Structure 1
Amino acid sequence: MNLELIKKIKEKFIEGFKKEPLLVFSPGRINLIGEHTDYNEGFVFPAAINKGIYIAIQESSLAKSSITAIDREETYEFSIENIKPLKDSKWENYVLGVIAELKKRNIIIPEFNLIFSGDIPIGAGLSSSAALENGVAFGLNEVFNLKFTKEELILISQQAEHNYVGVKCGIMDQYASMFGKLGMAFHLDCKSMESVFYTINLKEFQLLLINSNVKHSLVNSAYNERRSVCEKIAKLLNTKSLRDVCKKDLDVLKSKITEEEYQKGLYVLEENERTVQFTKALLDEDVESIGALLYESHKGLSEQYKVSCDELDFLVKEAKKFKAIIGARMMGGGFGGCTINIIEKNKKEQCVEEITRAYQEQFNHNCSVYEVTLENGTRLI
């Protein structure tokens, strides 16, 4: 818990609204393996982390609502009865979208005030958006006793992103943020919504994130385009999603789709299988195989699904130069953000120093390095 941020949002709220707020922490997430598989009803392997969004929220005493992003020094005031998406996918849409989804369910909430801050690096691929959506949904549920289950809240969060932000995301980010467990990651079946939690023991290795500190502008449009390709393939095969497709099925379509579309479909099938292999390697405590699967995943993301970028490819290529880094891949939607690395603990400093120096020389700007621990999901502070 970031005690400084908790103190900051609480004091800011009391100063502005003269009442004690409800305090909520909603974590970001990492994904060990299984990228772009969730919206194909496939498998993923995420975990909540110790970086997240901190929210102070309480009912308003005025006939209006107010939401404040402390880090941006921006406040937006509105009436619950009159909301609509703002242009250019502004941060306010993540909050407004949650309200809109509640209204669709015939839930009329009173006006409220909300202040938030966070320690998730924006654009790092750690799902600050899902953390904010979950935190708002969870906070409103608590303040106004709406009686939604956590399972219902994550669907509200997901639909908020679909309808108010315009990103047709899968359910992984919201699920991981809401249901994370301390020291554990989980293999999630995005079709049945069943999950199995595993304690993550990497022996003499640890997880390390390296943020490219770039986010190319095509990420949202490219994300939706890839989802469309997957839906096209599933439709041609008369099935709901690529989860129900095998390579033999995909091969039948070769004359009806482009090679690029074929490779995107093949990537999804292979990535699903990698999550299964990852689970076995985890149970066998085979850290070397876990690392190798991460490298394979990145190769597929870069060469088949084509959601990487020069900066991410460079970071993974540099990681391969070190025996102390047994696995690395890009993580998240792509076109920027972080790589996730499995690195030997006592060799970490040397590897990081050399990689960050090489990155600076190559791109003339810095990357950032984060150590993360696995945390419990969205909750009251």
Structure 2
Amino acid sequence: MTTQLHEEGIGQVQGGFERAFGKNKEVRYFFAPGRVNLIGEHTDYNGGYVFPAALSFGTYVAVVPRQDGKYRFRSLQFEAEVDVDVTDIVYRKEDDWANYPKGVLVQLLELAGAGEAGAGVGAYQGADLVYWGNVPNGAGLSSSASIELATALALSSLAGLVIPTMELVKLSQRAENRFVGVNCGIMDQFAVGMGKQGHAMMLKCDTLDYAYVPLAIEGCKLIITNTNKRRGLADSKYNERRQQCEDGLEAIRRELPQLASLGELSVDAWEQVRGLIADPIIANRVEHIVREDDRVLRAQASLAAGDLTTFGELMKQSHESLRDLYEVTGFELDSLFAVAKDVDGCIGTRMTGAGFGGCNVSLVREEAVERFMTQVADGYTRATGLAPSFYICDIGDGAHEIVL
């Protein structure tokens, strides 16, 4: 039976499917969460450490198989209605949100065509899909990765395949990189696919070595605050930052040719080679990555030791580095940070996600939650003219089928 947690989502896609395609006894339901990254920002595509957790809200999809090779994508939240044939799937800007599931389908077909999925391309005979999500779109909580993993699990399951979750994670990242054109790292898809209730995940992004870490924050709550300034990765300076990091790595390789990524560069080694980078902007980008990696390691250690004060200070340092060295925060996120960090009972706070708008995550003592939301809303609105939205986080499981 579905849990109370999923009742709204199932109700939404169930009703939406019936309105779009009619009642069908074969309908199956899948869910993939959003994610919040506690610390370790922009380190993922540099092969470094990240510390994300899956959320209890995300993307729901109702799906029924077809036999004519047609895939019909519908959303209860986006206007674009997109139909494709399995033999002719191309990126089209006007298809908007549906480019994410289309890209996943392309990757599933490539996997099948290469004989790596236990079945051939013929396993994909078509489907009707209806989506609904309660991840705020454009908020930096991985709504796109949530759509991707829900689609990957639904379509592979419909084809009768059991593809390991890690493989679904990798192909979803490839869909975003190659089909949508966003050079994201693997953190978002990993957290969405591999999440575990009550746990954060320590991930080394170049090796995909990971460990589940109990999120021991007794007496505190994680609060996500949405700036309500929407951000779009493909249109932001995200790809520019990635290129700047690659330029920095190339310069450092003159001295350290064996260095595969900035994620392998320790703080001590960086101090020895920083003079190789003449451009101060590139040097700032590398400085952030190296020190952010170190902060993630120290944050995990402090959490394991029950030292939430140190954990919170590292969160604040992370935001300041993203603001001053990596320059991906912006007026709204910085205004939010300035107000949140001064609220009595806020232990730590920082932007989360790629930046340029989106969300902030804060660690707040339980007795201060109402005060935090009141003071932050008042101060942020006075500074920006925008009203923030608040989400008190529960940490949930990764992508899975919901069996009624």
Q: TM-score, normalised by structure 2?
A: 0.90
Is contact 1:21-1:56 (8 Å) kept?
yes
Residue 104 (structure 2) aligned to one of 70, 93, 98: 98
For 1:325, the equivalent position in structure 2 comes to 346
Query: CA offset at residue 285 of structure 1?
Result: 0.2
Q: 1:379 to 1:63 in 2, by over 3 A?
A: closer
The aligned counterpart of 1:171 is 186
Going from structure 1 to structure 2, the CA distance change for 1:251 and 1:225 (only over 3 Å counts) comes to farther
Q: State whether residues 227 and 386 of structure 2, in contact with CA within 8 Å, keep that contact through their aligned partners in structure 1.
A: no
- Could you say which residue in structure 2 is the equivalent of 1:49? 55
For the residue of structure 2 that corresponds to 1:90, the secondary structure is helix
Q: Which amino acid aligns with 2:38?
A: L
Partner Cα separation in structure 2 for residue 206 and residue 278 of structure 1: 17
2:138 is equivalent to residue 138 of structure 1: no
Q: Give the aligned residue type for 2:65.
A: E
Deviation at 1:338, TM superposition (A): 0.6
Gaps of 5+ in 2: 114-119
Q: Tell me the secondary structure at the aligned position of residue 294 of structure 2.
A: helix
Indicate if the aligned counterparts of 2:277 and 2:283 stay in contact, CA closer than 8 A: no
- CA distance in structure 2 between the aligned counterparts of 1:358 and 1:221, rounded to whole angstroms: 27
Alpha-carbon contact 2:166-2:194 (below 8 Å) kept: no
Matched, 1:40 2:61: no
Whether 1:370 aligns to 2:387 is no
Distance across 2 between alignment mates of 1:33 and 1:170: 15
CA-to-aligned-CA distance 1:245-297 (integer Å, 9 cap, x gap): 23434653535431111010010000000111011101110010010000000
The one of 146, 159, 177 equivalent to 1:162 is: 177
Q: Would the aligned equivalents of 2:43 and 2:49 in 1 still touch at CA under 8 Å?
A: yes
Tell me if the contact between 2:66 and 2:126 (Cα under 8 Å) persists in the aligned partners.
yes
Structure 2: distance between partners of 1:191 and 1:218: 22
- Give the letter aligned to residue 71 of structure 2: S
RMSD over aligned Cα, in angstroms?
Answer: 1.7
What is the TM-score when the length of structure 1 is the normalising length?
A: 0.96
Q: 2: distance between equivalents of 1:88 and 1:289?
A: 47
Deviates more, 1:224-233 or 1:297-306: 224-233
Residue 305 of structure 1 aligns to a residue whose secondary structure is coil
Q: What does the per-residue CA deviation read over 1:68-87, in whole Å, with 9 as the maximum and x for residues that have no partner?
A: 01112432111111110012
Q: Distance in 1 between matches of 2:225 and 2:95?
A: 26
Structure 1 residue 104, shift from structure 2 partner: 2.2
Report the equivalent of 2:137.
Answer: 122
Partner of 1:29: 35
- 1: CA distance, partners of 2:246 / 2:94: 26
Query: Would the aligned equivalents of 2:140 and 2:231 in 1 still touch at CA under 8 Å?
Result: no
| Paired residues of 2:48 and 2:293 also in contact (CA < 8 A) | yes
The CA deviation string for residues 101-160 of structure 1, in whole angstroms up to 9 with x for no partner, is: 122221521111111100011111110100100010011111102332111111110000
2:15 matched to which residue of 1? 11
The size of the alignment, in residue pairs, is: 381
SS in 2 for 1:72: coil
**Over residues 217-254 of structure 1, what are the superposed CA-to-partner deviations in whole Å (9 max), with x where a residue is unaligned?**
67644111111111122223133210122343465353
Q: CA offset at residue 10 of structure 1?
A: 1.8
Return the offset for 1:364.
Answer: 1.6
* CA offsets 1:275-330 (integer angstroms, 9 cap, x no match): 11011101110010010000000000000010001111111111122231011000
Q: Is residue 349–residue 363 contact of structure 2 (8 Å, CA) maintained in 1?
A: yes
- Partner residue of 2:117? none
Task: Kindly provide the CA deviation profile for residues 340-363 of structure 1, in whole angstroms up to 9, marking residues without a partner as x.
Answer: 001111111122112101222222
> Whole-Å Cα distance in 2 between the matches of residues 2 and 212 of structure 1?
26
**300-309 vs 195-204, which deviates more?**
195-204
- Which residue does 1:77 correspond to in 2? 83
* Aligned equivalents of 2:154, 2:12: Cα separation in 1: 18
Partner Cα distance (2:271, 2:86) in 1: 47
User: 1:242 is matched with which residue: 253, 262, 267?
Assistant: 262
Q: Distance in 1 between matches of 2:281 and 2:303?
A: 32
Which of 240, 251, 254 is matched with 2:275 structurally? 254
Partner residue of 1:149? 164
- Whether 1:190 aligns to 2:205 is yes
- SS of the aligned residue for 2:130 comes to strand
